[in-house]
Amino acid sequence: MTKSVKILDCTLRDGGYIIDWDFSKANVTSILDGLSSANIDFVEAGFLKICQNNPDKTFWTSIDEFAKHINSSQNYTLMVNYGEYPIENFKY
């Protein structure tokens, strides 16, 4: 049986705790592009949250809004804090 290692990056999610998720739109784009170029397997890209849309933060108002910022076939995840995003907003 062959084992493989998968790499997860959480800069845009966990790193946000340090700087209040205020990365700037240019930094978000640069980080996502760099992680794609590095072939990182999984990217935690921030939070789904009902809030004012702000391109400088890594809070996303919908999956569709986040999808506008990616251009690769990587695996992305967005975190949800209980009570901050209605389950009805998820597409099934």
Count of domains forming the chain? 1
pLDDT grade, residue 79 (50/70/90)? very high
Place of tokens 């209040």: 20
pTM assigned to the model = 0.80
pLDDT grade, residue 92 (50/70/90)? low
Domain with 78, as residue range(s), is: 8-85
HSE, CB side, 13 Å, CA atoms: give it for residue 39: 2
Task: Please report, for residues 3, 4, 45, 64, 86, the alpha-carbon distance to residue 91 in angstroms, rounded to integers and kept in the order given.
Answer: 33, 31, 19, 10, 11
SS3 62: coil
In a domain, 91, yes or no: no
In a domain, 2, yes or no: no
In a domain, 65, yes or no: yes
**H or E segment and range at residue 60:** strand 59-60
- pLDDT, tens digit, 9 for 90 and up, residues 61-76: 998 888 887 877 789 9
In a domain, 54, yes or no: yes
- pLDDT, tens digit, 9 for 90 and up, residues 22-41: 999 999 989 999 998 999 99
Q: pLDDT over 90 for what percent of the chain?
A: 49
